[in-house]
Amino acid sequence: MTVRVRFSPAPTGYLHVGGARAALFNWLYARNRGGTFILRIEDTDADRSRPELIEAIRESLQWLGVDWDEEYRQSDRFDRYVEVVEGFVDAGLAYRCDCSQDGVKARVAEGAGYDGHCRDRNVQPGEGVVVRFRTPETGVTGWDDLVRGRVEFDNALIEDFVLIRSSGVPMFHVANAYDDLDMRVTHVVRGEDLVNTTPRVLLLRQAMGADDQPIYAHLPLIVNEQRKKLSKRRDDVSVGDYATRGYLPEAMRNYLLTLGWGPKDDVEIRPIEELIELFDLADINKAPAFFDIKKLDHFNGEYIRMLDLETFIEQSRPFAGDVDPALYALLAPWVQERIKHYDEVPQLIEWVVGPPPEPIEKDWRKVMTKDRVRDVLDLVIERLEPAEWTAESLAAIVLGVGDELEVKSQLPVRMAVTGRRSGLPLFEPMAELDRSEVMRRLKEARGRL
């Protein structure tokens, strides 16, 4: 059996990390089994779908390196869904209903579903009429979930749900069941938030004449610090935003993979080819996983440091602002081992490429209130004035002053020149600045003491 899996986003928002992971797991499985990965846009709800988001979702997937073999759009297939449902009505598997939503709500107890009011009323097509599925009143619908084991629902508890809206547009259950059947999808891998809709889809599939089920694997949710499902409104979840902030797709992909799954040999950071090789749906966890940006940062830092220098420069330069390429090339190796994502580049190099940043008050107090700081700066100023302007010479002078006075001289000088007490190596970038600029900064700092 050739594996066929699909990722089916609704274009109602940008691709978020939860969706990205679902896509990734599907893709991984397809690649592991030499199967087919389908991208299916579930845009049956015209009111909510935004066509421009389809492209955004495609771009995010491409960015992640998740490529698909086939692509479909449900809005192109409305006719088929409607036709199937018409067949249901003819066969008595479904019926029309003209109950208003308010009417149903008024009739039915709090929390209960539709009461089957129109089951045998033989309602004809017309304004405000929907088609509902005639759900079996007895029996159970269930499946063997690859991650959760056997899951069963009592049919009596499933209401007669809507198949076609009063607008004539089919609901996603119909499209979903039909497409999985029509596209010969073998495995359905998706978020756990969809478990409850699975019996409906299964019932529909059966009604469509299928005598089999796809194999389901319901992924545990990705949650925030409060252990709640990630929400687009509340949480930082857009994949596109991570790209913008300078995360590497390989790192994101690798990190996402460790949420709900992990290689048995405990080696988490590794090439995608190996991960594909090792991956199996059956090994996925059941418990929800917290999206830990700290760990993502670590992964990203590792991936950044794995880059060869040329690639690093090429990728990080757009984040650096307006910098002379030669100067940036000089700084890049030091930058590379200090950042976790590219948008941290500017703060590291600002003192070299632009006007001196305002000193950080806390750092200033910590460094500049030490003994002999005035003496250090005085001597450094005096000796730098006539000095040879190279990194070696600057280092020799500054450190020499420290030795003489038996204090650490680098810190006050660093503070004066960079405004920070930590950062890039001091002397090489300092030699790139004009002597006059360095002197100005040193004197200004001395004046503030």
Active-site residue set: 232
Burial class from Cβ neighbours inside 10 Å (0-12, 13-18, 19+) for residue 324 reads: exposed
36-41 and 4-7 beta bridge pairing: parallel
Question: Whose structure tokens read 């810190």?
Answer: 411
Q: State which residue, 35 or 423, has the beta carbon closest to RNA.
A: 423
Shortest distance, position 167 Cβ to RNA, whole Å = 6
Instruction: Pick between residue 290 and residue 389 the one whose CB is nearest to RNA.
Output: 290
Give least dist CB 332 to RNA, A.
14
Copy the structure tokens of residue 61: 């997937």
Give whichever of 2 and 103 is closer to RNA, judged by the CB atom. 103
Residue among 191 and 249 whose Cβ is closer to RNA? 191
Distance in Å, CB of 235 to RNA, minimum: 11
Q: Residue 67 CB, nearest distance to RNA (Å)?
A: 21
Q: Which amino acid is at 362?
A: K
Sequence-distant (≥ 6) Cβ neighbours of residue 232 within 8 angstroms:
13, 14, 16, 238
Backbone angles phi, psi at 414, to 5 degrees: -60, -45
Cα-based distances in Å from 413 to 416, 417, 449 = 5, 6, 13
For 87, residues 6+ apart whose C-beta sits below 8 A from its C-beta are none
Would you say 237 or 424 has its CB closer to RNA? 424
CB of 404 to RNA, least distance (A): 8
